[in-house]
Chains A and B, each alone.
Chain A
Amino acid sequence: DAGVIQSPRHEVTEMGQEVTLRCKPISGHNSLFWYRQTMMRGLELLIYFNNNVPIDDSGMPEDRFSAKMPNASFSTLKIQPSEPRDSAVYFCASSLGTSGPSGYTFGSGTRLTVV
């Protein structure tokens, strides 16, 4: 398995533009998580899906953020309109629950810069 695949690796966009981040989880994993990492706030959970259904989106900072998981092999995180304070590294992770020995598998992240 190639692991959790995120795209793009880097994104530079102008303030006000729409940004879409993509994630392909590990096949067979039934949980998917979107995290944001910044120096100031550390690693923050934005939203969590179980069996493609959003379970907890309380970490989504504003209505400008939205996430979808149309099927078990694909998820998107969209920011519209983007703002400079959205600049961060966004990670997607998947898991088959946390009761097993392997925990979460993280992608390599998307480094977003909004100018």
Chain B
Amino acid sequence: SQQGEEDPQALSIQEGENATMNCSYKTSINNLQWYRQNSGRGLVHLILIRSNEREKHSGRLRVTLDTSKKSSSLLITASRAADTASYFCATDADNAGNMLTFGGGTRLMVKP
């Protein structure tokens, strides 16, 4: 079973709007990561947030982590058509050694 589950599965917004994607997980973690996958390409690492951090920023990306609720959110501000992609959360669980477990992803479409 998947450790992380993204919500929503698909999201369609207009350019300039903000996009928020959520991730829930089941077990305690060392860190949580977000990745982007453009169609036909490999996943690209966006940002990592450690279990003792609550919020992290990188450019137009803002990630929050609530370990009490076992959830994380990825906010993309002022979205652009080029942000159209699938976004995955991945967890590095306490009992999983060095392995990441990926969720099913959110497909984001940003309309120009």
A104 to B35, CA, bound (A): 9
* Cβ-Cβ contact count across A and B, 8 Å cutoff: 64
Q: Is the interface of A mostly helix, strand, loop or mixed?
A: strand
Can you name the residue of chain A whose Cβ is closest to the Cβ of B50?
A99
A48 to B2, CA, bound (A): 17
Contact check, B42 vs A98: say whether CB atoms are below 8 A apart: no
Size class of the B contact interface (CB-based, 8 Å): 20 to 34
Contact check, B44 vs A101: say whether CB atoms are below 8 A apart: no
- B2, B33, B42, B97: the one contacting A107 at CB < 8 Å is B42
A105 to B100, CA, bound (A): 12
Contact check, A106 vs B97: say whether CB atoms are below 8 A apart: no
User: Smallest CB–CB gap between A92 and chain B, Å?
Assistant: 9
Q: Which residues A49-105 have CB closer than 8 A to chain B?
A: 50, 55-56, 91, 93, 95, 97-99, 101-105
Residues of B within 8 A of A (CB): 2, 30-31, 33, 35, 41-45, 48, 88, 90, 92, 97-105
CB pairs A–B below 8 angstroms (24 shown): A33-B99, A35-B102, A42-B2, A42-B102, A42-B103, A42-B104, A42-B105, A48-B98, A55-B97, A56-B97, A91-B42, A93-B42, A93-B43, A98-B30, A98-B31, A98-B92, A98-B98, A98-B100, A103-B90, A104-B35, A106-B35, A108-B41, A108-B42, A109-B42
Q: Report, nearest first, the 7 A-B pairs whose CB atoms are least far apart.
A: A106-B42, A103-B45, A43-B102, A98-B92, A106-B43, A42-B104, A103-B33
